[in-house]
Amino acid sequence: MTACDTCVVRNRAICSSLDSNELETLNTIGRRRTLAPGESLIWEGEDSVLVANVIDGVLKLSTGTEDGREQIVGVVYPSDFIGRPFGSTTGHGVTALTEAKVCVFSRRDFDAFAREHPALEHKLLQRTLGELDRTRRWMLLLGRKSAGERVASFIVEMSERLVEQGCQGTHDQPLKRFSLPFSRQQIADVLGLTIETVSRQFTRLKSEGLVDLPSRREVEILDREGLIAEAG
* CB contact at 8 A, 14 and 85: no
Residues 14-52: tens digit of each pLDDT? 888 788 888 888 888 889 999 999 999 999 888 888 999
Residues 183-218: tens digit of each pLDDT? 888 888 878 889 999 999 999 999 999 999 998 889
For residue 74, what are the β-bridge partners? 61
Determine the average pLDDT of the residues in 112-119: 87
Residues 128-180: tens digit of each pLDDT? 888 788 777 777 767 778 899 999 988 988 888 776 554 444 444 567 888 88
Angstrom distances, CA of residue 3 to CA of 10, 20, 26, 38, 166? 10, 12, 10, 25, 19
Going along the chain from its start, the domains and CATH numbers come out as 14-124 (2.60.120.10), 145-230 (1.10.10.10)
> Which pLDDT value is given to residue 169?
44
Angstrom distances, CA of residue 13 to CA of 80, 99, 123? 7, 19, 9
55-64, 91-100, 106-115, 127-136 — which is least confidently predicted? 127-136
